[in-house]
Amino acid sequence: MPLKFNQQRVCGKYNQIKYIFCGLVISLSPLLSYAEPWDSKFYNPKPAKDDVILPMPCDGSLVMKKVFTPTSKPLDDVKVVLGSNQKELGFAEYATPNYISGSFSDAGNERYFLIGKYELTILQYQAVMNDTCPTAKITLSFPMTDVSWFDAIAFTDKYNRWLIENQSKIKTNSVPKGYVRLPNNTEWEYAARGGSKVTESEFREARFPMVNPVENYAWFSGAKSANGKLQLIGKLEPNPLDLYDILGNASEMMFDSFRMNKLDRYHGQLGGITVRGGSYLTSESSTNSSFRTEKPFYDDKGAYKSKDVGFRLIYTTEIMNSSDLIKELDKEWNALGGDAESSTNGSVVNELEKITKQVEDEKTKKELNQLNTLLRSANQARDEQRDRSIQSALQLGAFLCANVSDLNSKYEYNNNLYNTMTNEVCDVKESENVDNDNMCSKAKLNNLKQVLDDSKNARDFILKYYSDTIVNTASNYEKNTINDQAKATQFILENSGKANMSDYLKLYFKHINQYIESGNIERTIWLKTCNEVKGNK
């Protein structure tokens, strides 16, 4: 019998005699033979170019997707509002502000974390937890359910240990060093709503944008959907982040415990298991991004399990994972809330620090340090609000530039039509003698003239509005502060399906900087260049 390698076991059994080795095990049992590589249909039925593949035991695979956040530095984070504005079950689901950032960064680009493209399957669970490798087959491509939260944690622990021992396989797939765990409440909902791939208004909708009925995206209760049965992964359409069954099919357990809502924050008491997304037993109305329920860690049978509750993994890393990063974090933290020298509050912070260093009385020094922290916190909150306002202003400017070019095209069309009718087709002097139904009648020509005037007024109004935004943005914010938001705004537009606005955004930046330098209102030139961008598309 030829020797076969088994990735899973460090201990082989044959006729009740144990053979223990350090490293791979030479197994003499046919039952412990090395598994065949999985066909992608069993773990990735809807492959995509930007899939990130993690290796698994038994020559298996786990597919992840990058969830980008508009952040670049380690201490950057983004404010997001989770939950719903509905007062029904408000103590559990009401709209609550949170903050999110990413764990990894590609060469200084926007930071991201990784989340499972699909719910974890039976096949993937068995590959990690079983003593022998499972045979890949379609019946194992259902979500793994009827496991406890503790089972899910045990799975992540055992899988992470395997990943540590197989780092070389991870590196070949260009995956950063990290580990898997259950997602927390904020990570899950940010991804479920579509993250940076949707606009702010779309993010606040009950469900991510759907061009087809909800049953095309989620398995819920009822005959037109799941009809009371758990379904295979990847059968329906994904959300904007290319995540499948993020709503419906199996409900998904979170890493953090359930917390109630207290209007503008989460309540201090931590409860049981947080379960998100709804399942094949959840009603259609409750199958939405806000639905959040609590399950016990234990019931009268032991650790809580349910036939419709499973889990999805994320891949992340610790925060302070190197001495260089700790130094960078310390530098960033010390800079928080400390404005430029020209800022009044910034000067107060700096002066207060100088005074504090000169004070010898410990009580006074402590009070001054507390005051300094309060000032920095206030400055930081103000700066974040300022940055969000600039990003909104820049997006508005890009849309106005595109809008004014569209309106100018309509004006030029109407102007050409009117000139053609009055100079080439019709005899204006005879228009009064022509029947009103005739296209050369005075009434028809007057209507054309009115349409022409209306289109000109509409274009000029938006052009004036566009010019006003340039002046207001340049007047309200420092040039460097505006330019600092260029990259973040570009990211927001490109990732939320508005990549066609990128050229207009660049032009808007150019117009702002020209105005800052010259102080001249160049409406005619601004209109011309906005039109040129439209002409190049």
pLDDT digits (tens, 9 = 90+) for 227-273: 999 999 999 999 999 999 999 999 999 999 999 988 888 999 999 99
* Token pair of 212 as six digits: 């087809």
Count CB atoms within 10 A of the CB of residue 528.
Answer: 12
CB burial string 50-61: b at 16+ within 10 A, e below: ebbbbbbbbebb
Instruction: Among 297, 316, 335, give the residue marking a domain's end.
Output: 316
Handedness of CA 162, 163, 168, 172 (dihedral sign): positive
What mean pLDDT comes out for the span 16-24? 37
CA angle (190, 488, 276) in 5-degree steps:
0
In a shared domain, residues 311 and 276:
yes
Residue 425 is predicted with a pLDDT of 86
- Show the 3-state SS of 75-121: CCCEEEEECECCCCCHHHHECEEEEECCCEECCCCCEEEEEECCCCE
pLDDT digits (tens, 9 = 90+) for 118-136: 999 999 999 999 999 999 9
Question: Residues 82-97: pLDDT tens digits?
Answer: 998 887 878 888 888 8
Question: How confident is the model over 501-510, as a mean pLDDT?
Answer: 89
Strand 309-310 and strand 251-261: pairing?
parallel
Assign 3-class secondary structure to 421-450: HHHHHCCHHHHHHCCCCCCCCHHHHHHHHH
Q: What is the CATH number of the domain that holds 203?
A: 3.90.1580.10
Better pLDDT: 441 or 312:
312
Rounded to the nearest 5°, which phi and psi values hold at 58? 65, 30
437 versus 50: the higher-pLDDT residue is 50
Report the SS3 class of residue 115: strand
- 449, burial (CB in 10 Å: exposed 0-12, middle 13-18, buried 19+): middle
| Total Cβ atoms within 10 A of residue 8 | 19
In a 13 Å sphere around the CA of 377, the CA atoms on its Cβ side amount to 6
Residue 192 has pLDDT above 60, yes or no: yes
| pLDDT confidence band for 217 (50 / 70 / 90) | very high
Percent of the chain scored above 90 by pLDDT?
Answer: 52
Q: E strands, 277-396, where?
A: 292-295, 298-299, 302-303, 309-310, 314-316
What DSSP state is assigned to residue 84? B
229 touches 279 (CB < 8 A): no
Tokens, residue 372: 């300094």
Within 8 A by CB and 6+ apart from 510, the residues are 529
Question: Among residues 275, 296, 316, which one ends one of the domains?
Answer: 316
Q: What is the band of 440 on the pLDDT scale with cuts at 50, 70, 90?
A: confident
* Residue-averaged pLDDT of the chain: 86
Residue 7 pLDDT: 38
- Whether residue 392 sits in one domain with residue 269: no
> Residue 135 has what DSSP assignment?
P
Does residue 346 share a domain with residue 334?
A: yes
61-117 residue pLDDT tens: 999 999 999 888 888 898 898 998 887 878 888 888 899 999 998 776 789 999 999
Q: What pLDDT score was predicted for residue 306?
A: 97
Q: Do residues 308 and 207 share a domain?
A: yes
Query: How does strand 179-181 pair with strand 78-82?
Result: unpaired
- How confident is the model at residue 65, as a pLDDT? 97
pLDDT at residue 10 tops 60? no
Of 213, 288, 206, 209, the C-alpha closest to 246 is 288
Name the domain count of the chain. 4
Confidence of residue 534 (pLDDT cuts 50, 70, 90): confident
Helix axes 502-518, 442-476, angle to 10 degrees: 70
- The pLDDT assigned to 35 comes to 61
Residues in the chain: 537
Show the domain range for 14.
Answer: 1-34
Task: Label each residue of 180-211 as H, E or C.
Answer: EECCCHHHHHHHHHCHHHCCHHHHCCCCCCCC
Q: Is 48 exposed, middle or buried (0-12, 13-18, 19+ CB in 10 A)?
A: exposed
> Which residues contact residue 234 at a Cβ distance below 8 angstroms, ignoring those fewer than 6 apart?
44, 45, 46, 118, 244, 245
The pLDDT score that the predictor gives to residue 11 is 38
Same domain, 24 and 47: no
pLDDT score, position 19: 36
The percentage of the chain sitting over the pLDDT mark of 70, rounded to a whole number, equals 91
My answer on whether 232 and 108 are in the same domain is: yes
The DSSP secondary-structure symbol of 173 reads T
Q: Are residues 427 and 486 in the same domain?
A: yes
pLDDT in tens, 346-373: 567 777 777 777 777 788 878 777 887 7
Residue 443 CA to its chain's centroid (Å)? 55
Provide, for the chain, the percentages of residues in helix, strand and coil under a 3-state DSSP scheme, each rounded to the nearest 5: 45, 15, 35
Query: Residue 329 pLDDT > 90, yes or no?
Result: no
Question: Between these two residues, 424 and 277, which has the higher pLDDT value?
Answer: 277
Q: Does residue 12 surpass a pLDDT of 60?
A: no
Overall average pLDDT of the 52-65 stretch: 96
Domain check: are 251 and 332 in the same one?
no
Spatial separation of the C-alpha atoms in residues 69 and 260, rounded to whole Å = 26
Residues 28 and 39 in one domain: no
Q: Reduced to 3 states, what is the DSSP secondary structure of residue 289?
A: coil
Between CA 495 and CA 504 the distance in angstroms is 16
Query: Are residues 225 and 274 located together in one domain of the fold?
Result: yes
Which of 298, 316, 334 finishes a domain?
Answer: 316
**CA–CA distance, 66 with 61 (Å, rounded to integer):** 16
pLDDT band at 499 (very low <50, low <70, confident <90, very high): low
Q: Do 477 and 453 lie in a common domain?
A: yes
Whether residue 18 has pLDDT greater than 60: no
Q: Are residues 352 and 335 in the same domain?
A: yes
pLDDT on residue 325 = 82
Q: Say how many Å lie between the first and final Cα of the chain, rounded.
A: 67
Strand-pair partners of 181: 314
Dihedrals phi, psi of 139, to nearest 5 degrees: -70, -10
Residue 213 has pLDDT above 80, yes or no: yes
Report the C-alpha gap between 440 and 423 in whole angstroms: 11
Inform me whether the pLDDT recorded for 1 exceeds 60.
no
Tell me what pLDDT residue 537 has. Answer: 63
The dihedral built from the CA positions of residue 13, 17, 23 and 29, taken in this order, carries a sign that is: negative
Residues 153-187: tens digit of each pLDDT: 999 999 999 999 998 877 666 788 899 999 999 99
Q: Which residues pair with 524 in a beta bridge?
A: none
- Is the pLDDT confidence value at 342 over 70? no
Query: Is 425 exposed, middle or buried (CB count within 10 Å of its CB: 0-12, 13-18, 19+)?
Result: exposed
Q: What residues pair up with 54 in beta bridges, in sequence order?
A: 62
